[in-house]
Chain A
């Protein structure tokens, strides 16, 4: 079982719609959760991070965390063609036994259709 699972997609949404991206993780001890965007041929860039259950909003982006169900989601409102990219979910656990481990999902490809 992978540490972080994402639907690879592709996910297609029309311009102006809400894109919903989901991620599940296996380690209940995970403490920090991240969403990255990666354009083709480029490096990942951090969009959002969330530590506590609930929603966190930043502009058109909302991250949602549910630790009991072990899932993280990213909502992109008013989707734009420039949002077309692969979105990577990452989780982090740090403690004396495991050190500081980061695990990434394989990403969901999003296409926003004009």
Chain B
């Protein structure tokens, strides 16, 4: 089944403790992206990647890191999480730059 898989689905952590949210797609898509969704603010792009080793900032990149060492994987790293990063995170992939994204199931992160 063609899909975007992200883990974990739920995560509660403490301020400052480094964490990684994994994302993998099995559709051989070139583009991958991370979004956060917050009430009243909608979906906002954090980072995106156009191919292996090519990444760029989205709308809200501060406090996040990404890497694309393999085409299928695009992990999101929070080096020092803070409570304002409590949110619902989605990973997504797309075959081309102007095609719609396919979203993963989401990761609900709480930073206390």
Contact = CB atoms under 8 A, between A and B. Distances in A.
Contacts of A100: 31, 48, 50, 56, 97
Chain A at the B interface: SS class: strand
Contacts of A44: 43, 90, 103
Contact of A94 (B57, B98, B106): B98
A45 B103 contact: yes
A32 B98 contact: yes
Contacts of A105: 42
B94 to A, nearest CB: 9
A51 B98 contact: yes
Interface residues of A, number: 25
Interface in A72-114: 88, 90, 92, 94, 99-107
A46 B102 contact: yes
Interface residues of B, number: 26
Given A34-B100, A51-B98, A94-B97, A104 B90 contact: no
B44 interface: yes
A32 B94 CA distance: 13
B75 to A, nearest CB: 18
Contact of A49 (B40, B90, B100): B100
A12 interface: no
A32 B90 CA distance: 21
B101 A46 contact: yes
B97 A43 contact: no
A35 to B, nearest CB: 9
15 contacts: A32-B98, A43-B90, A44-B103, A46-B101, A51-B98, A99-B48, A100-B48, A100-B56, A102-B48, A102-B101, A104-B42, A104-B44, A105-B42, A106-B40, A106-B41
Interface of A: 4, 31-32, 34, 36, 42-46, 49, 51, 88, 90, 92, 94, 99-107
